């Protein structure tokens, strides 16, 4: 391809609405353009990279035995009603109506569609296992799209769905996808690692996210360098010690704490109650029912864990007025020792188990209670792990200190069980003729997000640095004279023909621009190899091969093609 015959609108400056580096580079290198918030056009170069990432995914999915299909983006409302997700997923669903006023959803994912297909087409254990995948445009009405392709309203996702005869067989399918994901991200040149993850609204028992470390990532990952434990912070646990028991201090005793409404204030003189000897009492409304959450004063509630445990579709912290209504006091003086209505559920964090001589609110503004023993004085409905792990806590597996870092989630694998197959009738007859629900798994890769993650991880001050495997073109030929018939241009055209004939993807920068402009643009776009052909080097009978990441190499014209081909070999 010749530069002047395609569209590569590079920008010297980044548009002001781009915040993070990879988003700026996507725009500056002419890969994408924004149509509206969270909605982008892929320009020729961006599309080429996208196709390469897709192809890697396709090859690895095929290798793992998955079969490609293409499902509709337009999905009838009814199947979503059947699984109950018309309600639970309504926050992200784009809804459209046809001329007959029938409601349709634009596909944010396709469990309902594929399970409906399986219900029709799979009837025997002989047809299992099966794993169907597609690469297609997905729509999610993200509340706040951001960071370019990272979180968009319309994006490209690879989604796969496995159907198995049993839990054990489903686990094997899961492992296959897990391994395939590793290969996919490795081939994309990404540092990546799987972490234990929360299953969220989609449900299921077991899930891992594939993370790419990046400071701009939206996820926090807890990991242990010693043993390899890694989990999303929403899910992570640690080996923090429980709360030490003390000599019983007698019955709960109320004392005045005027104006004290924070853990921190109570820890100061004249009270001097250490944060870890306090019980923090939070009031939430889960689908309008009040729930108390007890957590140690020095811990933070993990709302994802809380939500997973309550199983409610919606929850929110109670307002101060609602706290008064429920417990008779305002936040800052709340506790679970007295005046707790019998119908209110009380969840306590495991770390409080057996704790005594604790201090907590008295449910009377301006008063606290001391000498509180969890076992004796608090009616706990359920004990759960509800706290948020902090850096430096001992690893739950090996005891070494945990670290926390930010990362981009590029893939997510779930073991789904029979949640969808039961609701949509995807079942099979086993050897004994008994009807059983298929055991499912689902597996997603954010293709467009992966593309941006590659940029986020591969760049320097001059621009993008593409791995060979996904570069829009492997080689950029940069003749410094472009007049037809000029020896420089003639050599460039010869190299272009010879490299193309060898299957190399070459972009010929035939723009009549000054050398500096061409070099800057080649660096910005990030071609793995740039070949400069100018009068000066040609006078010595040479061309210059410049790997994007590496030193310039002058080679004889006759050896140019073989020199370039050598650079294209994978290292090692």
Can you give the binding site for RNA, defined by CB under 7 A? 10-17, 19-20, 28, 34, 36-38, 85, 89, 91-93, 108-109, 140, 142-147, 151, 200-202, 218, 303, 412, 414, 442, 444, 462, 480, 514-517, 519-521, 523-524, 532-538, 544, 546
* Cα distance between residue 332 and residue 265, in whole Å: 10
HEC profile for 21-49?
HHHHHHHHCCCEEEEECCEEEECHHHHHH
Question: What is the closest distance, in whole angstroms, from the C-beta atom of residue 412 to RNA in the complex?
Answer: 5
Q: Which is nearer to RNA, 13 or 431 (CB)?
A: 13
Q: Which is nearer to RNA, 364 or 509 (CB)?
A: 509
503: left (phi over 0), alpha (psi -120 to 50) or beta: left
Cis peptide before 129 (omega within 30 of 0): yes
* Cα distance between residue 393 and residue 272, in whole Å: 25
Polymer length of the chain: 572
**How many other C-beta atoms can be found within 10 angstroms of the C-beta atom of residue 420?**
28
Question: What is the closest distance, in whole angstroms, from the C-beta atom of residue 328 to RNA in the complex?
Answer: 27
Question: What is the closest distance, in whole angstroms, from the C-beta atom of residue 37 to RNA in the complex?
Answer: 3
What token pair was written down for 162?
């496995």
What token pair was written down for 119?
């219900």
φ/ψ of residue 430, rounded to 5:
-85, -175
* Cα distance between residue 327 and residue 400, in whole Å: 41
Q: Which is nearer to RNA, 189 or 547 (CB)?
A: 547
Question: What is the closest distance, in whole angstroms, from the C-beta atom of residue 269 to RNA in the complex?
Answer: 32
- In a 10 Å sphere around its CB, with 0-12 CB exposed, 13-18 middle and 19+ buried, how is residue 374 labelled? buried
**How many other C-beta atoms can be found within 10 angstroms of the C-beta atom of residue 193?**
18
Question: What is the closest distance, in whole angstroms, from the C-beta atom of residue 393 to RNA in the complex?
Answer: 21
**How many other C-beta atoms can be found within 10 angstroms of the C-beta atom of residue 488?**
20
Q: Which is nearer to RNA, 165 or 538 (CB)?
A: 538
Helix or strand run (H / E) with residue 347: strand 345-349
Q: Which is nearer to RNA, 102 or 536 (CB)?
A: 536
* Cα distance between residue 376 and residue 354, in whole Å: 9
Question: What is the closest distance, in whole angstroms, from the C-beta atom of residue 552 to RNA in the complex?
Answer: 7
Q: Which is nearer to RNA, 498 or 544 (CB)?
A: 544
Triad 279, 281, 283: Cα angle to 5°: 170
Question: What is the closest distance, in whole angstroms, from the C-beta atom of residue 85 to RNA in the complex?
Answer: 7
Q: Which is nearer to RNA, 142 or 322 (CB)?
A: 142
Q: Which is nearer to RNA, 160 or 266 (CB)?
A: 160
The pairing of strands 206-213 and 193-196 is antiparallel
Question: What is the closest distance, in whole angstroms, from the C-beta atom of residue 242 to RNA in the complex?
Answer: 27
Question: What is the closest distance, in whole angstroms, from the C-beta atom of residue 361 to RNA in the complex?
Answer: 24
Question: What is the closest distance, in whole angstroms, from the C-beta atom of residue 121 to RNA in the complex?
Answer: 22
65 DSSP β-pair partners: none
Q: Which is nearer to RNA, 303 or 505 (CB)?
A: 303
- In a 10 Å sphere around its CB, with 0-12 CB exposed, 13-18 middle and 19+ buried, how is residue 8 labelled? buried
Question: What is the closest distance, in whole angstroms, from the C-beta atom of residue 22 to RNA in the complex?
Answer: 12
Q: Which is nearer to RNA, 298 or 303 (CB)?
A: 303
Question: What is the closest distance, in whole angstroms, from the C-beta atom of residue 319 to RNA in the complex?
Answer: 13
Q: Which is nearer to RNA, 266 or 413 (CB)?
A: 413
Q: Which is nearer to RNA, 151 or 183 (CB)?
A: 151
Question: What is the closest distance, in whole angstroms, from the C-beta atom of residue 331 to RNA in the complex?
Answer: 17
* Cα distance between residue 137 and residue 411, in whole Å: 16
* Cα distance between residue 66 and residue 179, in whole Å: 13
* Cβ contacts of 210 within 8 Å, gap of 6 or more: 181, 182, 185, 192, 193, 194, 409, 410, 411, 412, 413, 445
Q: Which is nearer to RNA, 138 or 368 (CB)?
A: 138
Three-state secondary-structure class, residue 197? coil
* Cα distance between residue 24 and residue 104, in whole Å: 35
* Cα distance between residue 356 and residue 373, in whole Å: 4
């Amino acid at each position: 391809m010749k530069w002047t015959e395609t569209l590569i609108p590079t920008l010297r400056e980044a548009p002001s609405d781009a915040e993070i580096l990879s988003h700026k580079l996507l725009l500056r290198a002419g890969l994408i353009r924004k149509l509206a918030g969270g909605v982008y056009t892929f320009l020729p170069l961006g599309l080429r990279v996208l196709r390469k990432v897709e192809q890697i995914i396709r090859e690895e999915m095929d290798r793992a035995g998955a079969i490609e299909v293409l499902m509709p983006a337009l999905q009838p409302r009814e199947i979503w009603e059947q699984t109950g997700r018309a309600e639970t997923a309504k926050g992200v669903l784009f809804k459209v109506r046809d001329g007959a006023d029938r409601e349709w959803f634009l596909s944010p994912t396709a469990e309902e569609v594929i399970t409906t297909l399986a219900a029709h087409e799979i009837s025997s254990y002989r047809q299992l296992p099966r794993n169907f995948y597609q690469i297609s445009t997905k729509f999610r009405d993200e509340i706040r799209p951001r960071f370019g392709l990272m979180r968009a309203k319309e994006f490209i996702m690879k989604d796969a769905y496995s159907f198995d005869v049993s839990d054990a067989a489903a686990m094997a399918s899961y492992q296959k996808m897990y391994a395939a994901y590793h290969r996919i991200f490795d081939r994309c040149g990404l540092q990546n690692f799987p972490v234990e993850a929360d299953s969220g609204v989609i449900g299921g028992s077991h899930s891992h996210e594939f993370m790419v470390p990046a400071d701009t990532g939206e996820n926090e990952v807890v990991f242990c360098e010693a043993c390899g434990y890694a989990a999303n912070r929403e899910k992570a646990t640690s080996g923090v010690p429980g709360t030490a028991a003390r000599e019983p201090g007698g019955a709960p005793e109320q004392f005045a704490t005027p104006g004290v409404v924070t853990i921190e204030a109570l820890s100061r003189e004249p009270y001097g109650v250490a944060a870890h000897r306090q019980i923090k009492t939070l009031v939430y409304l889960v689908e309008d029912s009040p729930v108390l959450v007890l957590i140690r004063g020095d811990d933070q509630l993990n709302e994802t864990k809380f939500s997973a445990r309550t199983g409610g579709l919606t929850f929110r912290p109670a307002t101060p007025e609602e706290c008064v209504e429920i417990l008779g006091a305002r936040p800052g003086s709340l506790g679970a020792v007295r005046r707790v209505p019998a119908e209110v559920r009380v969840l306590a964090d495991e770390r409080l188990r057996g704790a005594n001589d604790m201090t907590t609110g008295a449910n009377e503004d301006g008063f606290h209670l001391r000498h509180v023993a969890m076992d004796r004085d608090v009616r706990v409905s359920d004990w759960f792990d509800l706290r948020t792990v902090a850096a430096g806590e001992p690893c739950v597996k090996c005891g070494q200190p945990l670290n926390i870092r930010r990362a981009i989630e590029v893939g997510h694998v779930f073991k789904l069980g029979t949640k969808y197959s039961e609701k949509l009738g995807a079942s099979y007859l086993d050897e004994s003729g008994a009807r059983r629900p298929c055991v499912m798994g689902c597996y997603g890769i954010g293709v467009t997000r992966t593309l941006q993650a590659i940029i986020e991880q591969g760049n320097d001050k001059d621009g993008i640095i593409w791995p060979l495997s996904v570069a829009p073109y492997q080689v950029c030929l940069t003749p410094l004279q472009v007049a037809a018939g000029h020896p420089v241009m003639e050599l460039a055209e010869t190299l272009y023909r010879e490299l193309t004939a060898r299957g190399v993807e070459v972009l010929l920068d035939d723009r009549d621009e000054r050398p500096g402009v061409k070099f800057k643009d080649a660096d910005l776009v990030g071609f793995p190899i740039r070949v400069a052909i100018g009068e000066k080097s040609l006078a010595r009978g040479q061309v210059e091969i410049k790997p994007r990441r590496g030193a310039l190499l002058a080679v004889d014209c006759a050896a140019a093609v073989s020199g370039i081909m050598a650079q294209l070999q994978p290292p090692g």
